[in-house]
Amino acid sequence: MVQRRNALGRGLDALLSMDEVQTEGSSSINEIELSKISVNPNQPRREFDETALSELADSISEIGIIQPITLRKINEDEYQIIAGERRYRASLKAGLKSIPAYIRTADDENVMEMALIENIQREDLNSVEIALAYQHLIEQYDLTQERLSERVGKKRTTIANYLRLLKLPAPIQMALQNKQIDMGHARALITLTDPKLQIKVFEEIIQHAYSVRKVEEIVKSLSEGETITSGNKKIVPKRKKLPEEFNLLKKHLSGFFNTKVQLTCSEKGKGKISIPFNNEEELERIMGKLDSLKK
């Protein structure tokens, strides 16, 4: 039987519970001390642009690691980089002590494909573990999402939704794995294209215990270019720069209503026109202006 380990997730260990499969393979996401990580001596890349590394280090200092690196577990206190040496080097520059990483043991590559596929159906895995298992199958056995969907009996869109979770910032993936948020929260956050915005909304979810529906409403508003107030904090989306004709329209509307009209536009081209008022008298004046347009 597979020996269980203390880790954030059971990962592929949980998938390999059949007696006839003898393996110590595992895959999970965890925080690993940088002092325990070594670079792969067979890494073909030898030179790293110092300016680009410094820029990445500054980004990491501000919002942390967005995409975990991938490590091979050599022993209890030693890991080797499979992918992500640039992120590793930038994290050292940023002064980090640990880094989020996907962990694989050296025996992962010997795992039987059918054992993985059959056990995905039977184990109670969290969504990140399932996503990692799907990714492992696709990479190791050169499967398309369509082919994998046939093998595991899941819709291709279902598999695609799981795989998209692995593109979320590392803190969100770890929270999902630790059941601080659920799949619904994560799927809502995926629709935001800005990782910084994803992190900000995620922090509000944790602080205020927002429901999935509440997060969907927040994400929808942010996607349409609106500024959101959460608690005492304002979340401002990345807005598309308004074309000159939009600015002219904004000035024209502000002059017509004699108030500062707000016009926002998201990166997707969606937007909103807002006409603010300070009291009932101003509202009546604005309504009078609107009524005059009907004549």
pLDDT at residue 15 tops 60: no
Kindly report, residue by residue over 240-288, the tens digit of the pLDDT. 666 677 778 878 888 888 888 877 766 666 677 888 888 888 888 888 8
30 and 48 inside one domain = yes
Q: What are the tens digits of pLDDT across the range 162-187?
A: 999 999 999 999 999 888 999 999 99
| Residue ending a domain, choose from 139, 165, 191 | 165
> 197 CB contacts (<8 Å, ≥6 apart)?
222, 235, 237, 238
Full domain range(s) for residue 125: 106-165
User: What is the full DSSP assignment across 211-250?
Assistant: -HHHHHHHHHHHHTT--EEETTEEE-PPPPPPPHHHHHHH
The residue among 57 and 4 whose pLDDT is bigger is 57
Pairing of strands 262-265, 271-274: antiparallel
Tell me, yes or no, whether 266 lies in a domain.
yes
Per-residue pLDDT at 226: 81
Residue 95 lies in a domain: yes
Residue 6, pLDDT > 50, answer no
Q: Which residue has the tokens 């990962």?
A: 11
Looking at the fold, whether 40 and 92 belong to one and the same domain comes out as yes
Q: Specify the pLDDT at position 19.
A: 32
pLDDT at 203: 95
* Listed ranges 20-34, 52-66, 197-211; the one with the highest mean pLDDT: 197-211
Instruction: Single out the residue in 58, 84, 105 at which a domain terminates.
Output: 105
Give the model's confidence band at 2: pLDDT under 50 very low, under 70 low, under 90 confident, else very high: very low
Asked if residue 100 and residue 30 are part of one domain, the reply reads yes
Query: Domain check: are 86 and 53 in the same one?
Result: yes
- 145 in a structural domain: yes
Higher pLDDT, 218 or 9: 218
pLDDT averaged over the chain?
78
Of 274, 271, 276, 275, the residue nearest 225 (C-alpha): 271
Q: Provide the H-helix boundaries in 25-84.
A: 50-63
Q: Is residue 249 part of a domain?
A: yes
Asked whether residue 276 is domain-assigned, the answer is yes
With a CB cutoff of 8 Å and minimum separation 6, the contacts of 28 are: 7, 8, 9, 10, 11, 12, 13, 102, 103, 129, 132, 177
Nearest Cα neighbor of 181 from 157, 161, 201, 196 is 201
Domain contains 70: yes
Distance set, CA 48 to CA 53, 100, 239, 262 (Å): 7, 21, 33, 45
Environment class of residue 288 by beta-carbon count within 10 Å: exposed (0-12), middle (13-18) or buried (19+)?
exposed
My answer on whether 100 and 131 are in the same domain is no
Q: Do 101 and 34 fall into the same domain?
A: yes
pLDDT of residue 254: 83
Q: Report the SS3 class of residue 291.
A: helix
Residues 94 and 34 in one domain: yes
How many domains are there within the chain? 3
Residue that finishes a domain, picked among 58, 80, 105: 105
Give the H/E segment covering residue 194. Answer: none
Average pLDDT of 99-121? 62
Give the Cα separation of 69 and 53 in Å (integer): 15
- For residues 62 and 96, membership in a common domain is answered with yes
Residue 184 within any structural domain of the chain: no
Q: Both tokens of residue 13?
A: 């260990």
| Residue in the block written with tokens 């519970």 | 17
| Residues 33 and 101 both lie in one domain | yes
Higher-confidence position of 109 and 237: 237
Active-site residue, selected from the candidate residues 31, 85, 118, 217: 85
Does residue 275 sit within a domain? yes
Amino acid making up residue 135? Q
**Domain with 140 in it: what CATH number?**
1.10.10.2830
Judge if 62 and 97 occupy the same domain: yes
For residue 95, give the DSSP letter: T
* Alpha-carbon gap, residue 82 to 68, rounded angstroms: 11
Q: 157 and 91, same structural domain?
A: no
pLDDT band with cut points at 50, 70 and 90 for residue 107: low
Q: What is the CATH number of the domain that holds 75?
A: 3.90.1530.30
Catalytic residue check, 85: yes
Mean pLDDT of all residues in 205-222: 94
d(CA 286, CA 277): 8
DSSP state of 2: P
One domain, residues 144 and 95: no
> pLDDT tens digits, residue range 116-129?
565 566 555 778 88
